[in-house]
Amino acid sequence: MTLDHLRRNFLQKLVASAAAVPLLSPYRTFAQADRASTGSHPGTTLRVALMGLGSYAARVAEAMQSCKRAKVTGLISGTPSKLQEWGTKYGVPEKSRYNYDNFDRIKDDADIDAVYIITPNAQHRDQAIRVAKAGKHVICEKPMAVNAKEGQEMLDACAEAGVKLLVGYRLHFEPKTLEVIRMRNAGDFGNILFFQGLSGFRIGDPSQWRLDKALAGGGSLMDIGIYAINGARYMVGEDPVWVTAQQTKTDPVKFKEGVDETIQFQLGFPSGAVASCLSTYQMNHLDRFFMTGERGFAELRPATGYGPIQGRTHKGELTQPHAMHQTIQMDEMAGILLDGNTPVVPVDGEEGLKDLKIIDAIYAASETGGRRQLRLSK
């Protein structure tokens, strides 16, 4: 029996026993269900070096303490005191602590399988290429790069080196999100008609790297708007074919040239479904996905925060249990890199590149006010 047949059988059984879904372990995602058919090695651990020891890396490191198949075994930072502090806290020996000048030496570090790049967006391309040349798998925070050209160069470098490139799409493994996707695939919503994605908050410190175009590659769209872009794709279940966009800036001092404050954008899909989305650094309380179809609806609110995600559909509240997103993500990525598992929603470099192509098109459309056609697949 093929893997596709096994997956279909598994999904059919889930549909038949939907009432039992809330009882599933938060770690029993669809990718892990595939593991039963592809074969796994439970004793095999993905050994990960964290690059860029900031606040999000701290969240990842803490979450990984609960992982069953992933472990922090390396550190890369430009701050010696952080290397010392984190090395002591997470049991990483000095031989596996590196700075940005010498981390190419990970090539000879047998205790590192992959590097998770958690640095400013503009640094991703060069760092990913160096990691790939060192023969290690690349896990990169989103957005994967500052534009599609750089993203393609990362893909090419990883392919040439024979390593895999994954992107930190933690919500692709989140249980309530996966339940909405399961319901859509089962036809519970009928034909999808409309999606709305609201992503935003009021940003603080004006000197932070996220408001520096040279480091961030843009503004709110690169940081928070990518959630609505990616969410529209995995909720609707299609890739868009056109985009329009409008940009608003009320504070040109804080949001300098090339750093977007607020962008509204619209996406059109092959089926005729449309999406209306908002990305902003100037408004709070915006973290909501809403989707409606011919026979039902789904709402996630909050939809992208660290949790717990809350959701409901026309059938009632979503009750799947919450677990640390990064814990699930890293265990699932271990299955992808070590066992060749296939997740329900891709997290590979091709997925990241599609979002970058949309981002490029949104910026272009916001400059002209016109519609931009999209071709996301080669």
Residue 23: the pLDDT is 34
Q: Stretch 27-39: mean pLDDT, rounded?
A: 39
Element (H, E) at 359: helix 349-368
Residue tagged active-site, from 227, 234, 281, 363: 227
Whether 34 has a pLDDT exceeding 70, the answer reads no
pTM of the model: 0.89
Secondary structure element (H or E) that encloses residue 335, with its range: helix 325-339
Last residue of a domain, one of 136, 170, 204: 170
DSSP class of 134: T
Is residue 251 in some structural domain? yes
Does residue 154 surpass a pLDDT of 80? yes
Is residue 64 located within the same domain as residue 134?
A: yes
In a domain, 335, yes or no: no
As a whole number, the mean pLDDT across the chain is 91
Mean pLDDT of 56-61: 98
* Residue 149 bears catalytic tag: no
Residues 82 and 193 grouped into a single domain: no
Residue 325 domain-assigned? no
Boundary residue ending a domain (170, 204, 225): 170
Helix (H) or strand (E) holding 254: none
Q: Which of 27, 71, 98, 142 is catalytic?
A: 142
- The rounded percent of the chain whose pLDDT value lies above 70 is 89
- Residue 234 is among the residues annotated as catalytic for this protein: no
The confidence score (pLDDT) of residue 377 equals 86
- What is the edge-to-edge ordering of all strands in the sheet holding 165-167? 97-98, 70-76, 46-51, 114-117, 137-140, 165-167
Per the rule left: phi > 0, alpha: psi between -120 and 50, beta: everything else, 81 is: alpha
Peptide bond into 346 cis (omega under 30): no
Q: Within a domain: residue 269?
A: yes
Which amino acid is present at 41? Answer: H
Domain match, 28 and 69 both:
yes
pLDDT at 145 over 50: yes
* Statement to judge: residues 216 and 256 lie in one domain: yes
Helix (H) or strand (E) holding 272: none
Residue 182 belongs to a domain: no
Strand, helix or coil for residue 79: coil
Helices (H) and strands (E) in the chain, counts: 12, 15
List the domain range (segments joined by +) for residue 295: 189-314+348-373
Residues 260-312 pLDDT 10s: 999 999 999 999 999 999 999 999 999 999 999 999 999 999 999 998 999 99
pLDDT digits (tens, 9 = 90+) for 306-334: 989 999 999 999 999 999 999 999 999 99
CATH (domain of 133): 3.40.50.720
